[in-house]
Amino acid sequence: MCTFVSEACNKFDFIIEDRFSDFKVTITVNKDATLHKCDCGSHLNCCHHSAAALIKTSEILEEKRE
- The binding site for Zn ion (CB under 5 A) comprises 38, 40, 42, 47, 49
As measured in angstroms, the least distance from the Cβ of 17 to Zn ion is 12
Q: Quickly list H helices, the chain.
A: 48-65
Q: Which is nearer to Zn ion, 20 or 62 (CB)?
A: 20
CA distance 57 to 21: 21
| Residue number, 46 or 61, with CB nearest to Zn ion | 46
- Of the pair 46, 63, the CB lying nearest Zn ion is at 46
- How far apart are CB 61 and Zn ion at their closest, in Å? 21
For residue 54, give Cα distances in angstroms to 14, 19, 28: 10, 19, 10
